[in-house]
A and B are shown apart, each in its own frame.
Chain A
Amino acid sequence: MSDDATETGPERHWRTALAEGRILLQRARASGTVFFPPRLMEPRTGDADWDWIEASGMGTVHAVTVIYPKPPEPPRAVVLVDLDEQVRLMSEVEGIAAEDIAIGLRVRARIGERGGVPLLLFDVAA
């Protein structure tokens, strides 16, 4: 990764890729550690020598909470997903009742959109 100041910051790069249909992660060359959200350098080590990689999209629900808004708005779940690349992120799992989402559920990433903005979402893995 060059230090060229004409490039955008890593976050803009990530969002541009998402809009193009790619889910990116960063992997430090020396340690092999994958990290997210996008950063200038590897957390802890400060190693700035890293590559963008594409996520497999597969993950596992690590934590789940069901939010109960005032009716008639239905309950909805917010999850933390551990991607197989060992990074954690917040998201939602669609196509399943909120209360049926359990820790350990295997999920697959999908790029959806809300309000015209691309958004990383998950479906139950087949």
Chain B
Amino acid sequence: MGGQFPRGQTAIAGLATFGLGECPGWTTIEMAAKAGQLAVADAGMRMGEVDALFICLPDDILAGLSFAEYLGLSPRFTDCNRTGGSAFMSHVATAATMLAAGYIDTALIAYGANQRSGGGKLSTPVGSNAWEAPYRPLFPASSYALAASCHFHEFGTTRRQLAEVAVAARAWANTNPEAFAKGPLSIDDVLAARMLSSPISVKDCCLVTDGAAAIVMTRTDRARDCPAPPVPVLGAAAATWHNAISQMADLTTTAAAESGPRAYAMAGVGPDDVDVVQLYDAFTINTLLFLEDLGFCPKGEGGRFVENGAIGPGGRLPVNTNGGGLSCCHPGMYGLFTIVEAARQIRGTAANQIADVDVALAHGNGGALSSQATVILGSAATI
């Protein structure tokens, strides 16, 4: 019986982003609430209609309770799931199944953080465990660097190929008014960047920005009455195989190899049906791993797949069309921003709109390549 999903029965009815880049003078919960307010308005609803809250904030482990209090709501269900930056994909899975079951009627999923204005460094309550901390890895960069070292060793992947990922992200960002990091970025720029934890240079790392996002989900029949076209959720699946990088069984294969196929099966689509792809690119190696694990190219071919601008504007597969965590925004946890960009692509309102998008994939990552979660969104024509 496991693995059932109410395909297309629920939809994103409202969405918003707020304060991407720099948003001085705002607290995290104010930012999340602002994005929530905008998303509820986008759905043509009133805040009082929200009866389920899904949130995690970097500085408040009981953020769901704080958010309910802040909004003055008494939700039927409150979820502070924290699987790192992928938490929001799990929020979608929970919200979809609860909406379809009639347990809740209107779900608000929100995130906000002032990581740039609040200090300029990645702020996270998470760190290395007791078996890794004594060796002083950079958390989390060294974990991803260790995985990259295995990918280089096993498949001949190169820093130049990683640089392709950063360059493609910048090219998308350059034509997205919301994106924070703009301006020319060449492969040589990335190769010349200061090395942080080899083979990861500072230009292989996501940004540290402010930013907030929110989506409103409801049953699709109700979402049809909202102002914007509904964005049905076709599938949502999460998988976790480890937490610490030293416990990752195969450092070149992530649990996206499980979450992806399960989400595809729910959605009744495969990689060839996906028109636009949003991947959590905390580091450039992520994009290669997820392209492979989600079936867009064979295992080990990610580096060659992205060469020659293949995932940038005009390439063979549009990936991270907002500029990604590398060049659009990365306020500590980025997962919800991939969902918003995927939904905008379905609606036809993205800054870098791809033509005729019927299926969009948003993939979240949490921890040290630990939590992987995939959401597949469709147009009205897919249900």
Which residues in A have some Cβ–Cβ distance to B below 8 Å?
A: 11, 37, 62-68, 76, 78, 80, 88-92, 103, 114, 117, 119
Contacts and interface: CB of A to CB of B under 8 A. Distances in A.
A66 B247 contact: no
Contact of B146 (A65, A68, A119): A65
A114 B244 CA distance: 22
B147 A67 contact: no
A112 B130 CA distance: 16
A90 B196 contact: no
A80 B135 contact: no
16 contacts: A62-B251, A63-B150, A65-B148, A65-B199, A65-B200, A66-B195, A67-B196, A67-B197, A68-B195, A68-B197, A78-B137, A78-B146, A88-B246, A90-B132, A90-B245, A91-B135
Nearest to B252: A63
Contacts of A117: 134
A43 B45 CA distance: 47
B241 to A, nearest CB: 11
B131 A78 contact: no
Nearest to B144: A65
Instruction: Give the bracket for the number of chain B residues in contact with chain A.
Output: 20 to 34
Q: Which of B134, B135, B150 has the most CB of A within 10 A?
A: B135
Interface in B216-270: 244-247, 251
A11 B138 CA distance: 24
Interface string B140-157: 001001111110010000
Interface of B: 130-132, 134-138, 142, 145-150, 153, 194-200, 244-247, 251
A66 B142 CA distance: 8
Contacts of B137: 65, 67, 78, 90
Contacts of B197: 65-68, 78
Nearest to A103: B153
A64 B245 CA distance: 12
Contacts of A114: 134
Contacts of B147: 63
A65 B246 contact: no
Contacts of B149: 63-65, 103
Given A11-B130, A65-B198, A67-B196, 9 more contacts: A63-B251, A64-B149, A65-B197, A65-B200, A66-B198, A78-B136, A78-B197, A80-B245, A103-B153
A78 B149 CA distance: 11
B146 A37 contact: no
A92 B150 CA distance: 17
Given A78-B135, A90-B131, A90-B246, A68 B142 contact: no
Contacts of B195: 66, 68
Contacts of B194: 68
Contact of A63 (B130, B131, B146, B200): B146
A67 B246 CA distance: 17
